Amino acid sequence: MSESTPTAADTRRLAEEARARVRFEEEALELSDQVYRVARRFVGSREEAEDLVQQTYERAFRSWRQYTPGTNLRAWLLRILTNLNIDRGRRQQRSPQTTSLDTDAGDYLLYNTLEAQGDNVDEEQVVERLSQDSIVEALAEVPHDFRDVLVLVDIGDFAYADAAQILDIPIGTVMSRLHRGRRILKKNLADTVVT
Amino acid sequence: MIDWCEKCEEMMQPFLDGSLSAAEVKEAERHLETCSWCAKRYRFEERLRHYVRIATSEPMSPELKAKLAALRTPLQ
């Protein structure tokens, strides 16, 4: 029994495939900072985010042939990450719903609250009264469904259509969750200012 | 009678996202030109979005970066 000798065409095909794979891996690694930035806000701790990103890249490098060159690689990676995150059972770990879902206060609530805290409010500077920690905490308290959209669009800079594809929800749902998510975030921030 | 400030508040997010129709943008801009109360709140929202993005950005550790690079397929 003998293995047939690879033909020149086989060798060429293998070389082309190897080059395509290298290119894919390089492009995916270039996006890792952006992927991590989103992952970090999807989950509660740095360790979880690091695990999630590592698993995402392991799976992406294994299934690289499923990626269509020329399409949005960042969205493709985030889709893997979202599926892994769901597999990890994070849907069961619901964040507290509390009063956060009360979004009737409107979009001006936070500014009105900050303005009421001091005189001569400069809208350019008033935002700096919010500490970095209070923003991180207020975002973490936004319920998952709303936070995922908020993180993808406002932090990850994804278009509505990409966020819809990544989360596998209709674009209209992306828009309504984004609208509500931003209001919940501002309500949470206003609460930190008042208490 | 329309409460223009209330309407302007409803339009703020889609206005800043660029998802309003041209006619709606014109309507909002007309109100913002004459209403400093709403204009302040629009400027604040823009600044807040930028600030949230910066405040929540945490750089990836060099260790993780190295681990990801190590996942690459070795060159033959």
Contact (Cβ atoms closer than 8 angstroms) between residue A97 and residue B15:
no
Q: Residues of A with CB below 8 A from B48's CB? A: 110, 127, 186
Of B40, B61, B69, the CB nearest to A123: B40
- What is residue A121's predicted lDDT score, i.e. its pLDDT? 65
The overall average pLDDT reported for chain B is: 90
Strands (E), B1-76: none
- Choose, out of B3, B71, B75, B76, the residue to mutate when testing the contact with A (most A CBs < 10 Å): B71
Question: Could A50 and B75 be called an inter-chain contact, meaning their C-beta atoms sit closer than 8 Å?
Answer: no
Task: Write the pLDDT tens digit of every residue in A158-175.
Answer: 999 999 999 999 999 999
Indicate the SS3 state at residue A174. helix
Q: Band of the pLDDT at A65, cuts 50, 70, 90? A: very high
Mean of pLDDT values over B26-51:
92
Decide if pLDDT at A115 tops 60: yes
- CATH fold, domain A8-87, is Rna Polymerase Sigma Factor; Chain: A (1.10.1740)
Task: Write the pLDDT tens digit of every residue in B4-30.
Answer: 888 888 899 999 998 899 999 999 999
Reference A90, options A160, A23, A11, A143; nearest CA is A143
Task: Find the residue in B nearest to A122 (Cα).
Answer: B40
- What is residue B48's predicted lDDT score, i.e. its pLDDT? 92
Q: Using alpha carbons, list the distances in angstroms from residue B66 to A32, A59, A94, B47, B62.
A: 11, 17, 33, 35, 6
Decide if pLDDT at A90 tops 70: no
B 13-32 → A contacts, CB under 8 A: 13, 19
- What is residue B38's predicted lDDT score, i.e. its pLDDT? 92
Of A58, A111, A154, the CB nearest to B71: A58
CA distance A17 to A11: 10
- What is residue A125's predicted lDDT score, i.e. its pLDDT? 75
B45 in contact with A, Cβ within 8 Å: yes
Question: Could B60 and A29 be called an inter-chain contact, meaning their C-beta atoms sit closer than 8 Å?
Answer: no
Q: Residues of A with CB below 8 A from B44's CB? A: 110-111, 123, 126-127
Q: Using alpha carbons, list the distances in angstroms from residue A32 to A49, A154, B36.
A: 12, 18, 42
Please give the share of chain A, as a percent, with pLDDT higher than 90: 62
Decide if pLDDT at A92 tops 90: no
Question: Could A155 and B76 be called an inter-chain contact, meaning their C-beta atoms sit closer than 8 Å?
Answer: no
CA distance B7 to B5: 5
Domain ranges of chain B: 4-70
Domain ranges of chain A: 8-87, 109-194
In angstroms, how far is CA A32 from the centroid of its own chain?
Answer: 12
Contact (Cβ atoms closer than 8 angstroms) between residue A137 and residue B55:
no
CA distance B19 to B14: 5
pTM across the whole model = 0.86
Decide if pLDDT at B71 tops 70: yes
CA distance A32 to A77: 9
CA distance A128 to A123: 10
- What is residue A98's predicted lDDT score, i.e. its pLDDT? 46
Which range among A33-47, A100-114, A136-150, B6-20 shows the weakest confidence by mean pLDDT? A100-114
ipTM of the complex: 0.87
Decide if pLDDT at A118 tops 60: yes
Q: Residues of A with CB below 8 A from B55's CB? A: 130, 132, 135-136
Reference A79, options A105, B38, A68; nearest CA is A68
Mean of pLDDT values over A119-147:
85
CA distance A159 to A161: 5
- What is residue A88's predicted lDDT score, i.e. its pLDDT? 83
Q: Which residues contact A45 (CB under 8 A, 6 or more apart)?
A: none
CATH-assigned architecture of domain A109-194? Orthogonal Bundle (1.10)
